A and B are shown apart, each in its own frame.
Chain A
Amino acid sequence: MVAVAATIVLLVLLWPVPFRDLVLFARDGVLVTIVVTVSSYALMVVVGLFGGLGRLSKNKLIFGIASLYVEIVRGIPLLVQLIGWYFASPVIIQRVGLWLDLQPLIQYRANPIVTAVVAITVCYGAYTSEIVRSGVQSVPKGQMEAARSLGMSHFQAMRHVVLPQAFRVILPPMGNEFIALLKDSSLVSIVAVADLTRRGREFMAAHFNPIETWFMVALLYLILTLVAARVVSYIEKRSKYERY
């Protein structure tokens, strides 16, 4: 991590053209990448929690809906989903608006960042659902039985006994998800979101220097993922059972 950071600083200091220019040009793109990643991730955790618990539900309807969601979304490439959300959803909303004669819907225009966050959340929520499901299933059945035998409701037992233990199992794959999401967020550049990748393309188009541009963009992604990996392993260490 230090080596990558040092390389970036060195390049910027030694060759201000094009590296300093690129970093200055693309810094809002870095910010957009971080915003898209963090907000999708936060929403994805919520979707995954409900999806995962839905996949474990004894209620056939809830189980069916959750399974349908996971099976369908998992089988379609994120890129296709992104393009679909960006181009198809506004048209659908406008048609519904025409049908109901609602002006705000008819005038709806897709906000690229919001659309991108929704698409990534839906897609990654499906993967997260499976992680949550396997995490909950990894907690021995006796834990739930013991909690229920003490008079706790199913919900109380989940919240106080099963999920805290599942959390520790889920944490490492969830860290991987964050890093994968950070990298996949580069796909949003094709639906008009000015993220790091898109800013890189714009810079290259203006200055005709593909080698320098993409080397620096790669370094910037690398430093982001390395920092994320450090944060993840710190949280993992903190959440181990004390003196376990």
Chain B
Amino acid sequence: MPEPIVQIKDVRKCFGTVQALRGVSLDVAEGEVVVIVGPSGSGKSTLLRCINRLEEYEEGTIMVDGMTLDRTSNINAIRREVGMVFQSFNLFAHLTAMQNLVLAQCIVRKRSRQEAEQVALALLAKVGIPEKARVYPAQLSGGQQQRVAIARALAMNPKIMLFDEPTSALDPEMIKEVLDVMTSLAREGMTMLVVSHEMGFARAAADRVIFMDEGQIIEEAEPSDFFLNPREERTRLFLSKILHL
């Protein structure tokens, strides 16, 4: 079996006196789609943010694509390989959709403007909004903004994509357009870690579902097993709340 592309070993993290992560270990294989669920405050987003070091952690190790994220390693090198999509989109408000996609390609990947714009146009077409290239984020709907944000992350040709509750800030009718993009990305073999409560997406695209609570991984299973036969009592309680059984 090849080396996992993400290796998380016994990671611990505190916010003041609150223990956000209490020893989390997780391996993700190349091309795998992992969905992380859990109640709010369970540490799912923190774990995701530790993978590209937007959050520091106190103990444990995280290896991404063979590189260790310790304090001396070049964090920017890892961030180039790891794309991230945020709950609040975080599109650059002073730039058009096109410029949002072009900026980092030019200054981080050192691509020519012409090449970067070709990549950007192709990706905007892929997420279904090529006609919005010259439009500013404030003029786009939430779903469109999130699709631009996904395209922006993809423009860097990441090996791994992290999604931090990508549909939580969206109106119901816009959720599907974002999930469709994510599902097709999963089918193309992208390695994805997704914090989301979209059970439809988890069933359709995930290879593995992980349930976190109080900073620990409680249970992990294939989607079908996870939803039909959860082993742990806490998982059952959580599922009964979100699935309205």
* Chain A residues proximal to chain B, CB less than 8 Å: 140, 142-143, 145-153, 156, 160-161, 164-165, 168, 241-244
Contact = CB atoms under 8 A, between A and B. Distances in A.
Contacts of B136: 241-244
A157 to B, nearest CB: 10
Nearest to A139: B93
Given A149-B82, A160-B103, A241-B93, A142 B88 contact: yes
A241 B94 contact: yes
- Residue from A143, A145, A146, A149 having most chain B Cβ neighbours under 10 A: A149
Interface string B119-157: 000000000000000001011000000000100110010
Nearest to A168: B94
Contact of A146 (B76, B80, B86): B86
A151 B104 contact: yes
Contacts of B54: 145, 148-149
A112 B138 CA distance: 51
Contacts of B84: 146, 149
B94 A164 contact: yes
Interface in B80-94: 80, 82-84, 86, 88, 90-94
Contacts of A164: 94
A146 B92 contact: yes
Interface string B60-91: 00000000000000001101101110101011
A143 B137 CA distance: 13
11 contacts: A143-B90, A146-B84, A146-B86, A147-B92, A149-B153, A152-B107, A156-B107, A161-B92, A164-B94, A241-B138, A243-B136
Contacts of B103: 150, 160-161
B104 A147 contact: yes
B148 to A, nearest CB: 12
B46 interface: no
A150 B152 contact: yes
Contact of B76 (A142, A152, A161): A152
B52 interface: yes
Contacts of A151: 76-77, 79-80, 104, 108, 156
A149 B83 contact: yes
B156 A150 contact: yes
A225 to B, nearest CB: 30
A146 B91 CA distance: 8
Contact of B92 (A143, A242, A243, A244): A143
- Residue from B54, B104, B108 having most chain A Cβ neighbours under 10 A: B104
Contacts of B79: 148-151
B94 A152 contact: no
Nearest to B104: A150
Nearest to A156: B107
Nearest to A141: B90
Contacts of A152: 76, 104, 107-108
A152 to B, nearest CB: 6
Contact of B90 (A142, A241, A243): A142
A150 B108 contact: yes
Nearest to B52: A149
B79 to A, nearest CB: 4
A242 B108 CA distance: 26
Given A142-B86, A142-B88, A160-B103, A153 B76 contact: yes
A156 B107 CA distance: 8
Contacts of A146: 84, 86, 90-92, 149
Contacts of B139: 243-244
Contacts of A143: 90, 92-93
Interface string B90-110: 111110000000011001100
Contacts of A161: 92, 103
A152 B94 CA distance: 17
Contacts of A242: 136
Nearest to B103: A160
Contacts of A140: 88, 90
Contacts of B93: 143, 165, 241
Nearest to B76: A151
